Amino acid sequence: MGSANKIPGISGGIIALALNFYEDLVESIKNIQIKNIFKFKNPFLNVNSSLLIYISIGIIISYFSTSKVLDLLLLKYEVYVWSVFFGLVIGTILHLINKTFKWNKSTYTFLIIGISIGIFISFLEPLRENDNLFFVFICGIISVCGMIIPGLSGSFLLIILGNYVLLLVDSVNILYDSIIALLTRDIDFVYEQKNIRGLKIISIFTLGSISGLIIFSKLMSILLKKYYYKIQSLILGFIIGSLGVLWPWKTKDPLNLEITRHIPKLNSEFVLSIIYIIIGIFIVMYLSRYDKE
């Protein structure tokens, strides 16, 4: 999930859906009682603590390891990596369609709304970078949508907000370098003005992300209980609409992150890409056999 959250176009929520722990995750986050901290009580009484602990550890590790590997793979084998992701999302769509749905006018309407919003977001023009701390906090709240709302990529939303490089590249690198500097007792590095600013930014961003997790998890839990099939249809629509963002054959301007999609040529690369797409679909179909339902 951590690796997925860092890559524009991929939603961590999709990974949770594909691995069949999405609803458990939402419920666990929703049940965290922040107010108990101020009462000196355990805030995790009604929470699946093991699930949250392992996911949190995995996300932290991925930001400094798995995501680094994916960054390298994207540099050398970008089309193939995106092909696997494209296949994973197609597989997730097929998995959701195969689940029990009450298809009627309202669920079809929510499906179309979800598809429309997904497509609309994928064609938005990015804003300019903004390191204002209040805006960074808002970015944290919005970016966490990718974990709670499958189909909405948090990192892609950060590109739209203009702060992807600032928050998920520059600030993360400063945090990593600062940790190494502390371990090697290079205190002067940590106290450099640029690094202090970077640490402030990633701290505020993290605070916003935690706030967003709590807010959206409570909201999604209520909506899933009251309007389960409608929300599932909306989520399915989001995911279908996000396929345009995940299109494997594209070029990106490194300066402004503008993406241009194109039709692939019929060559060996195209054949391999199709194979990787099929592999992605197969992975989700295989994992779906362990669905609790």
Contacts 24+ apart (CB under 8 A), 273-276: 273/79, 273/80, 273/83, 273/248, 273/249, 274/83, 276/80, 276/83, 276/84, 276/87
User: Each residue of 179-234: pLDDT tens digit?
Assistant: 888 888 877 877 788 888 888 999 999 999 888 888 888 888 888 788 888 888 88
User: Each residue of 40-87: pLDDT tens digit?
Assistant: 666 667 777 788 888 888 887 876 676 567 667 877 888 898 898 888
How many CB atoms lie under 10 A from the CB of residue 195?
Answer: 17
pLDDT in the model for residue 293: 46
pTM value surpassing 0.85? no
How many CB atoms lie under 10 A from the CB of residue 244?
Answer: 16
How many CB atoms lie under 10 A from the CB of residue 103?
Answer: 11
* Domain enclosing residue 37, as ranges: 2-290
- Phi/psi of residue 264, each to 5°? -70, 155
- The tally of domains found in the chain comes to 1
